[in-house]
Amino acid sequence: MGKSKKEIMEQKQLTGSQAVLEACIAEGVDTIFGYPGGAIMPIYDALYDYKEKLSHILVRHEQGGIHAGQGFARSSGKVGVVFATSGPGATNLVTGLADAMIDSTPLVCITGQVFAHLLGTDAFQETDVINITMPVTKWNYQITDAEEIPAILAKAFYLARSGRPGPVLIDISKNAQLQKFDYPGYTPCNHIRSYRPKPVIRKNYIDDAVALINNAKKPLVIFGQGVILGKAEKEFKKFIEKSGMPAAWTILGLSALPTDHPQNVGMLGMHGNYGPNVLTNECDVLIAVGMRFDDRVTGRLDKYAKQAKIIHLDIDPSEIDKNVRATVGVWGDCKETLPLLTLGIEQKDRSEWLAVFADYAKQEYEQCIQPEMYPSSEEMTMAEVIRNINEVTQGNAIMVTDVGQHQMVTCRYAKFNDTRSNVTSGGLGTMGFGLPAAIGAKFGAQDRTVISVIGDGGFQMTLQELGTIMQTGVDVKIVILNNQFLGMVRQWQDLFHDKRYSFVDIQSPDYIMLAKSYGIDGAKVEHRKDLVAAVKTMLSHKGSYLLEVMVGKENNVFPMVPQGCSVSEIRLK
């Protein structure tokens, strides 16, 4: 039935730009990260009238904007929203899109585009952003008619947050931003034909998995970010506590279970803990929850857990059997599948099996952890810095890391009590992620302490975002672990290329003077005697603070699974 004449007369007219902002408000967005430019100027003009409802954070580079959006999404559990202009503005988002895609981070990126009649003419700042971003987005779409905006943005937010989350990019031509149309109101999307965000849970797979777990003598649970994305932390904890099974984590799964939980046996993978890596190849049943068997976790696939029956829980059916063949694949949202498993499994005492992990942990502590956290040498280590931070925060801070040795050390040694406390670039390994992601993480969790641990190499990639801190006054604690090298590359050159240090010796500016030029206080620590007081000063300081700690130049991160080796061939030194 059509609208009456009165309804048509009363219908609200909006520009496309206003419709974009109305969609954001309807979806619960309160913070947008972005950088204006010619092709998105109409949206920014409309934003001028929405200041009371939408907070816009002006970053210093579009890559900083999208990493901030990622940090916001990861700490808050909401969809991160990013604005950028056409051409170079849009292409500067690509690294962040790729990072968000592989790490399943929900984003809606809105880019401006040239007028529709100029598309394909190589107009000023025109780039085919749709084809460029297709491989690194969950969905993308170009709008040239304003009337499409409400429905397309509803679909964008739904796709970004549902099922396996991911980044969505909507490209809007300038004419569509300026165009006025009869605004029908905003209707959120909750269904798309042929898109099934949650697979149907099949009872026979649940039953098969329960039988394997109940008959297992030496089961091992490995959990990833799927537990956090599914908001299934409580369900996961109940599952492992009833079963008595040891549980190990991927770096993106870190903080889903408190680090001091008695069944938490540590980190998997290349720089993971000794026990969970070695015993992956000794367990009889391996239960993978919300993780994708990344190569940094598995090492050589032809030598990975060949003795074990594999149970793989995942919301994305394409991940099951992709890298490791599952004995039982349990498709579905782990918030729904874990309680079904918990209901069926038997309560068991697996203290003898956990004691095996404890024995490996003791060996690792004596040979690796103690020398790193309590070094006898004059040089400070990254691990002792993290230990000192733990002692002050008591595991209650959000730790945001960049990529490199400091990232592995922080993930290994940081203590966490609460979920969504570890924000890092996992699958893509994006240097430059740490500082802007920490800014976003603080906006996403304003009541929590946010500490960004960064190497001297990664910091120099996006240090211009100190300007964002200066302008917004956001409170981020920045710790630069400065070893005067591109440390992880240098470690590989040390171990596998006969110490041929090729272009890894990197010089740094005076970070304290640099921070002060942005109105940020800071201090440099070169001697161990000053470290404890400096950490306390940083964490008690009101406002952002930069702490630079000079650590050993040629310290390596161990344990380590050398590339091309089995996880059970992990080296302690």
Known catalytic residue: 177?
Answer: no
Residues 116 and 15 in one domain: yes
- Beta-strand relationship, 167-173 and 139-143: parallel
Q: Is residue 274 part of a domain?
A: yes
Considering the domain architecture, whether residues 129 and 219 belong to the same structural domain is answered as no
Query: How many residues belong to the chain?
Result: 573
Structure tokens at 561: 């699974």
Task: Tell me which of 373, 488, 538, 560 is the catalytic residue.
Answer: 488
- State the catalytic residue, choosing from 22, 27, 62, 372: 62
Determine which one of 3, 11, 124, 513 is catalytic.
124
Residue 134 CB coordination number (10 Å): 12
- Establish if 198 belongs to a structural domain: no
CATH value at residue 529: 3.40.50.970
Could you tell me if 218 and 174 lie in one domain?
no
The CATH code of the domain that includes 302 is 3.40.50.1220
62 in active site: yes
User: Of 81, 5, 10, which Cα lies nearest the Cα of 50?
Assistant: 81
- Tokens 């219908």 label which residue? 11
Q: Is residue 499 domain-shared with residue 547, that is, in the same domain?
A: yes
25 and 115 housed in the same domain = yes
**Position 60 in a domain:** yes
Residue written as token pair 């005697």: 529
Q: Are residues 159 and 258 in the same domain?
A: no
Query: Is 63 one of the catalytic residues?
Result: no
User: Do 272 and 378 contact (CB within 8 A), yes or no?
Assistant: no
State the alpha helices, DSSP H only, in 162-190: 174-178
Q: What is the pLDDT of residue 9?
A: 39
For residue 232, is it within any domain? yes
With respect to residue 558, please indicate whether it lies within any of the assigned structural domains: yes
My answer on whether 304 and 430 are in the same domain is no
Q: What pLDDT shows up at residue 564? A: 87
Known catalytic residue: 357?
no
The pair phi, psi for residue 255, each rounded to 5°, is 90, -5
Give the end of a domain, one of 155, 183, 211: 183
Q: Please check whether residue 119 lies inside any domain of the structure.
A: yes
> Which residues of the chain register pLDDT less than 50?
1, 5-6, 8-9
Q: Is residue 188 part of a domain?
A: no
* Number of domains the chain is built from: 3
Which of 356, 385, 407 is the last residue in one of the domains? 356
- DSSP code for 433: -
| 281 and 410 together in one domain | no
End-to-end CA distance of the chain: 75
Which one from 174, 309, 442, 477 is the annotated catalytic residue? Answer: 174
The confidence score (pLDDT) of residue 563 equals: 84
Question: End of a domain among 154, 183, 212?
Answer: 183
Identify whether residues 344 and 437 lie together within a single domain: no
The catalytically annotated residue of 125, 363, 367, 464 is 125
Q: Could you tell me the residue range of the domain that residue 211 belongs to?
A: 203-356
Give Rg (Cα) of the chain. Answer: 25
Exposure of 471 by Cβ count < 10 A (0-12 exposed, 13-18 middle, 19+ buried)? middle
Active site residue 124: yes
Task: For 392-541, list the strands marked E by DSSP.
Answer: 398-401, 422-423, 450-455, 477-482, 521-525
- Both 344 and 419 in one domain: the answer is no
pTM greater than the 0.85 cutoff: yes
Instruction: Judge if 158 and 215 occupy the same domain.
Output: no
What is the pLDDT, as a whole number, of residue 4?
Answer: 52
In order, the DSSP letters of 372-398 are HHS--SSS--HHHHHHHHHHHHTT-SE
- Tell whether 304 and 382 lie within a shared domain: no
Place of tokens 């699974």: 561
Residue 362 inside a domain? The answer is no
